[in-house]
Structure 1
Amino acid sequence: MTQNPATEDPNLEASADAPEQAAATETGPEAQIVKLQAERDDLKDKLLRTLAEMENLRRRTEREIADAKAYSVTSFARDMLGSSDNLRRALESMPEAARKTADAATTALYEGVELTERELLKTLERHGVRRIDPQGEKFDPNLHQAMFEAPDAGIAKGLVSKVVQVGYKIGERVLRPALVGVSAGAPKAAEPPADDSAKH
């Protein structure tokens, strides 16, 4: 028995259309706007993070390039310090009195060694290497290596009283610490002998 379309249950037709209407409501203009805004915010956040990472990378790369330029000669400079030390030892091996009475050839040799040392130090300085000669300065364990501590009436306690070997810095790094003696201050005065008469 066929049912007349006119007499069909209208509720059945409405319930069949309900999922389509719900889907239409879910994908309506408001829902699409919310979805697009969420996507936009997500993409904006990713873009900002990427830009921040790129800026950090650029700064890090610039710092690494600057460090490479500043410290590229470190090994070479360290090797040259031995030559500088030898030139200084050669100059110090001739006493002041002998220099004053030396003949012209010896004087010329001394001046030549002195000039060579000065030129070597200037060359090192042009490449960022500087001497650490801390005579009379406050002892700094970051720049100096203490070899001994001794009383010294002429220099306050904690100051460098003697430079055994000059040090060197390259940029802000220590290439070689200065070897120094540190003042322990004025020697203590000898205590007067105890007065035995006070005991009697």
Structure 2
Amino acid sequence: MHNDEHREDAASKDPAQAGQAAEHHEEALTPEPTQEEFDRLRIALATVREDQLRERAELENQRKRMARELEQARRFANERLLGALLPVFDSLEAGLSAQAQDVEKLREGMRLTLRQLGKVAEDNGLTVVDPLGEAFNPDQHQAMSAVPTSEHAPDSVVQVYQKGYLLNERLLRPALVVVAKAED
């Protein structure tokens, strides 16, 4: 009891000393850890370290696997497109082997081959920009010249030198056009 009374006196005099005295008293009451507890904690620590090493190895393996898959995706990104182009190559080769006296059949074969190529391109997100008769759009058209005319509305496309293309709605190449302007 004498110790408790002393602590109460210290607390009433100086709160900081009272806190230190209480800690000292609690430390004195806490028993020393046994060898068995140390062994149990060493085993738990070893288990945690093993788990950590295993997780690091798994993460590293996953990172390497993702890098390999990304590299494969880059290498074969155009596989579907190029596979779809193979019949177009076949058609062109067949056209080249045609006899010169059969010009009309050759032209028809070229039309079919162009249609095949257009289908492959469209299936892969390519859209043709052929603005003949439409209003001039500087986001998709490049004006090569302007001609005065009363037959067409001003700022409309009256001739297309070269078609333009959009890839998934992003301009790949502008259409080269002639634009109408009002006559003087």
TM-score with structure 2 setting the length: 0.48
TM-score with structure 1 setting the length: 0.45
